[in-house]
Amino acid sequence: MLIPKGLQVQRINNLTPFKFTDELGDRLQTLLDKKKADLLTVEEAIELEAIGELDEIFSYINAVIVAKANDHS
């Protein structure tokens, strides 16, 4: 599974957002393509769901980071 090694934190200006590595981003796209073609295995469907949940969590965390940075600007 790519999730443990698929996460990174990258400093941009004064912010440090969470994001997927290129490897995990590519895996996400592969899974989405397979889902669209109705070719996902059960394991891949679970993996896709987990990656999607992480994406939502990261989006929320990053939004909070940006909001707090804007409050302090």
Residue 57 belongs to a domain: yes
> pTM for this one?
0.73
What is the residue whose two structure tokens read 């996902």? Answer: 40
CA 40 – CA 53 distance, rounded (Å):
18
Q: Write the CA distances from 66 to 20, 37, 69, integer angstroms.
A: 18, 36, 5
Residue 35 belongs to a domain: no
Q: Is residue 15 helix, strand or coil?
A: strand
Residue 61 belongs to a domain: yes
Q: Write the CA distances from 43 to 46, 48, 50, 54, 55, integer angstroms.
A: 5, 9, 11, 17, 18
Residue 34 belongs to a domain: no
Range of the domain at 6: 1-16+44-73
Residue 28 belongs to a domain: no
In tens, the pLDDT along 12-66 reads: 677 767 788 889 999 999 999 999 999 999 999 999 999 999 889 988 988 888 8
Residue 71 belongs to a domain: yes
Number of separate domains in the chain: 1
Residue 60 belongs to a domain: yes
